[in-house]
Amino acid sequence: MSRPARPGPWPPAASSQPQPQTQHQPLSWAKRTAFKNAPISTSGQISTPNTTPTPPPPDLESGPTTNAALALPPPPTNAIASASGTQHTSVKRSNGGANGASKDRNPSAGQRQRDSSAPLPRLRDREVVQEDHDELPQRHPHVVTYSLRDSPGLVPIVYYGLQHYLSILGSLILIPLVIVPAMGGSYEDRAAVVSTVLLVSGVTTLLHTLLGTRLPLVQGPSFVYLAPALALINSPEFQALNQNNFKHIMKELQGALIIAAAFQAIIGYTGVMALLLRLISPIVVSSTIAALGLSFFSYGFTQVGACLEIGILQILLVFIFSLYLRKIKLFGYRVFLIYAVPLGLGITWAIAFVLTETGVYSYKGCDANIPASNNVSEYCRKHVTRMKHCRANTSHALRDAPWFRFPYPLQWGTPVFNWKMALVMCLVSIIASVDSVGCYHASSLLVAERPPTAGVVSRGIGMEGITSLLAGLWGTGVGSSTLTENVHTIAVTKMGSRRAVQFGAVLLILISLIGKVGGFIASIPDVMVAALLCFMWAMLAALGLSNLRYSSNGSSRNSIVVGLALFFSLSVPAYFQQYGLNPNSNVSVPSYFLPYVVASHGPFHTPYAGVNYVLNTLLSFNMVIAFVIAFVLDNTVPGSRQERGAYVWSKSEAARREPAVVKDYQLPFNISSDKRLIALVHCNDNNNNNNNYYEAFCSKQVGVGSDISGGIIFFNS
């Protein structure tokens, strides 16, 4: 009685007969980063990759999948035969026969049935993948409803343009509501800065979608610049100012931002950023952005506690809309998930307005404008805080704000340039560039045919320097960069149309000219601003950590690097902020701003006051410590590119062969074919062992965004 034949090796050896080529070969980049068949949900999460072609990805927000859908089907024979015969795998197996030769055996019917029903082992981690510079990473075809170059029509463009900006409303308006009161600005100053921010955001978004990366990314006031702005506002030299505090400090901020913007434009347009791309990985980006979101914990609930009933109501509504009601659809859209922030803000604001108008927060004989320390009555000292933080004086805003106001450059006066503040801002602009690099990569995988080339990334960073220069000239208080919330908004709304974002930017410019809008937004109670910021900063930390999905999830190396970066990003700044600070001293700033007065009492005491200011201030920033530690460890601790999850950008030679990629990133208005465009670039030669050399590229290559790692672009008159 003969034994049944043993099953052959896995994967089976390729047959001698040529196999038909599959229509879509799996790319080496996709194998390495698990993006070829990774379905992406509306929440932006990417599920475990599959080794076989899959149907359109399931919507993870619509509910759990069935068990049958979770089973891993056996791979098709053609794909296995094709993959085993290529040069991308170096793993060879034998069945261990007597003569040591590999033989094909036919298993029995029962064995085939058992093998087909059992899950198959995953071989991707065992393969040694050879990088192919000519192949480009692809996006999943079903991620968004409208991709980068789609034009959905006039009515959908209007709807989706408004939807995109409403979903990130908090990121656009909250920063002015924090820094203007800290500078001693009045209600009118706050309304003016809000209108200026809306105008600059619309203009810079148009510039970035036309002359930057051309991705549908909204530009606006960045949280990266908030900490250095607060540190500058609370500098010792400004504590003795008695009048015109707001304009004086704003002019100092403008000067620092203008110099930092010029520095960022230089590192972008000269291609220094393209060189740094080789050293920036998802480990660095995730640690830096997560530390940025966690760094403002001292401001969040401290302000919410000034009026608990309004603040907690605001937080609970946003949590309920964004988490518990996120799967509910109205008119085919997840309204609660998309508009969680504006819906929570509107409902809480309406309740606060009703309570204010009905006299709940009105106390007889008490004035909210009189400080509590100056009140003689014990009754008024007890309730003046609630009057100040809980009241919604919307009627006052609509009555006093002008109907038309045009924000203009240098509206606060001539900027004041201070080298020590400018140096701090220049170094912080590098952090903003790192944040933008992560946004470019994540958003391009959602909306574009391929990720941009290194040249396009450099062009985008250079344009962000120009947009921050505009923010400094107009006086928004902080620099402008790509808002991190763009990636979440695109993933949730499934709208990646560039034209929709551009139309929304035009509407934002028109709205900024209506003074009543700025006055209305400026009347948001401080406690509601703090409650929204609690959610926004938590979202920012979560979006930062989501970049870890591009790296190896089970790597102890990555876990240790991220853990060390996050821990020391909280511990080291705490040491600087508490050093030399007397707990019993009378400090003139509120307690939630104490982390930003470190320049006056930090541990560095050299004979040079400017050096002390720069070192004490920079090392008290959580994001700076996280970036330095993650950057050094990730680039010195041994680890493969697959383990690190290094960002893979499209190569210029392969990008030029695909018309769709050219159309995604080429400059408009025939700029790329203008013979007057002259470029001298320091480029990366992919065919000569990555040797750098100087070459004058034709304007078409520059317009496509060749793999530029340096260059100055100008127009010859």
Count of beta carbons in the 10 Å neighbourhood of residue 166: 16
Report which of 220, 174, 62, 5 is spatially closest to residue 531, judged by C-alpha positions: 174
Of 472 and 10, the one with more pLDDT: 472
Q: Are 37 and 52 in contact (CB under 8 A)?
A: yes
SS3 label, residue 71: coil
pLDDT band at 563 (very low <50, low <70, confident <90, very high): very high
Report which of 440, 10, 431 is spatially closest to residue 216, judged by C-alpha positions: 440
d(C-alpha 152, C-alpha 143), whole Å: 16
pLDDT surpasses 80 at 218: yes
pLDDT surpasses 60 at 692: no
Highest mean pLDDT among 258-262, 605-609, 698-702: 258-262
Q: What is the mean pLDDT of residues 538-566?
A: 89
* β strands within 310-457, DSSP E: none
d(C-alpha 477, C-alpha 228), whole Å: 10
Highest mean pLDDT among 171-175, 331-335, 473-477, 697-701: 473-477
Confidence (pLDDT) at 49: 46
pLDDT surpasses 70 at 628: yes
Q: What is the mean pLDDT of residues 192-209?
A: 94
Region of residue 46 (left: phi > 0; alpha: psi -120 to 50; beta: else):
beta
Confidence (pLDDT) at 473: 94
CA 156-162-165 angle, 5° bins: 135
Q: Are 643 and 558 in contact (CB under 8 A)?
A: yes
pLDDT band at 659 (very low <50, low <70, confident <90, very high): confident
pLDDT surpasses 50 at 539: yes
Mean pLDDT of the chain: 75
Q: What is the mean pLDDT of residues 481-491?
A: 87
Q: 705: buried, middle or exposed (CB in 10 Å: 19+, 13-18, 0-12)?
A: buried
Confidence (pLDDT) at 471: 95
Per-residue pLDDT of 373-385, as tens digits, reads: 555 566 676 777 7
Q: What is the mean pLDDT of residues 655-675?
A: 75
d(C-alpha 502, C-alpha 210), whole Å: 9
- Which of 356-370, 477-491, 656-670 shows the lowest mean pLDDT across its residues? 356-370
Per-residue pLDDT of 98-152, as tens digits, reads: 444 444 445 454 554 444 444 444 333 333 333 343 344 555 544 678 888 888 8
Q: 3: buried, middle or exposed (CB in 10 Å: 19+, 13-18, 0-12)?
A: exposed
pLDDT surpasses 50 at 366: yes
Confidence (pLDDT) at 474: 95
Of 256 and 706, the one with more pLDDT: 256
- Which of 95-109, 337-351, 535-549, 588-602 shows the lowest mean pLDDT across its residues? 95-109
pLDDT band at 655 (very low <50, low <70, confident <90, very high): confident
Q: What is the mean pLDDT of residues 494-502?
A: 89
For 128-183, give the secondary structure using H, E and C.
CCCCCCCCCCCCCCCCCCECCCCCCCHHHHHHHHHHHHHHCHHHHHHHHHHHHHHC
